[in-house]
Amino acid sequence: MFPPVERQAPGAAAPTGGWHNRAPGRMGILIEVAAAAAYAVAAWAHWPAPTRAQPPLYAGRLVPLALALHAVGLVYAIATPDGFDLSLTNAVSLVALLCVLVTWGSGFLRTLPGSAAVVLPVAAAAALASALIVAPHRFPYAGEPWAALHIAIALCAYAFLLVAAVTALLMTGLENRLHRGLPASGDGTPPLLTLERYLFRLIAAGFVLLTATLVTGALFSEEVFGKPFKLTHKSLLSLLAWLVFGALLLGRWRFGWRGRKARNLIVAGSALLVLAYLGYKFVLEVVLGR
């Protein structure tokens, strides 16, 4: 339920003003490259190793440093003199930052083996892509009251639910190891039932945020287009994802759904969200060139 991407009128002059109107600027690029390097070192430090039970002490300090650098770099990339640049690379980078923030804040980087090996390299690649791939897409509704709130809530919902999907996949791997009689990697790994409780807390928070996303999207659409719902691929996929997560939470509460069935629904709902926004932007910006 995000607004459509702005299209430049035929024959309109390209934005002028030099480097800062085309890219995040040299300072922004350097900051995002530094963030990518910090993510990479943190991923290496958190990588599961049989010779150590816990990551080294400096690993926990690198993640907040990388997050701070990444956030500052994204300010340079998104808040340009020509307006807000919400290109595909900037959107992916912002979602990756929020996913690292949720994973780090929830403690999963420390307690769930493999989570750092997934989210930190992805965040490093996203930060580099945002700095080096320049394809501006200006957000035309930055002045609308509901627009910024809608996008902020939606990105947070995506982050919570994508982290839940990563957690579900890692839990499946841990379960498979236990079924084969192998120990879980890492002495500090919580029991699967404890991880599952944490997982459903992420799902519940993400579902609340996703509900707020749909509501603010309807209010924004009503204000700008005169109708609360525009039937697009994006809105339809978002609604389907909301139904999947709603059914999952209802099944958990009413029928005690858990285990592989619940985790499959989490991955399916998260895949719908990825297609709803990032996939939609990929088709528009890369495939169709709009």
Residue 81 has pLDDT above 80, yes or no: no
Helical axes 233-255 vs 259-274, angle rounded to 10°: 160
What does the pLDDT read at residue 209? Answer: 96
- pLDDT category, 21, cuts 50, 70, 90? very low
Residue 120 has pLDDT above 90, yes or no: yes
Burial of 271 (0-12, 13-18, 19+ CB in 10 A): middle
φ, ψ dihedrals at 85, nearest 5°: -100, 100
* C-alpha distance from residue 130 to each of 23, 58, 87, 237, 239 (Å): 9, 26, 9, 26, 29
- pLDDT category, 187, cuts 50, 70, 90? low
What does the pLDDT read at residue 202? Answer: 94
Residue 192 has pLDDT above 90, yes or no: no
Q: What is the mean pLDDT of residues 212-239?
A: 79
- pLDDT category, 128, cuts 50, 70, 90? very high
User: pTM for the complete prediction?
Assistant: 0.83
Residue 234 has pLDDT above 80, yes or no: yes
Mean pLDDT of the chain: 81
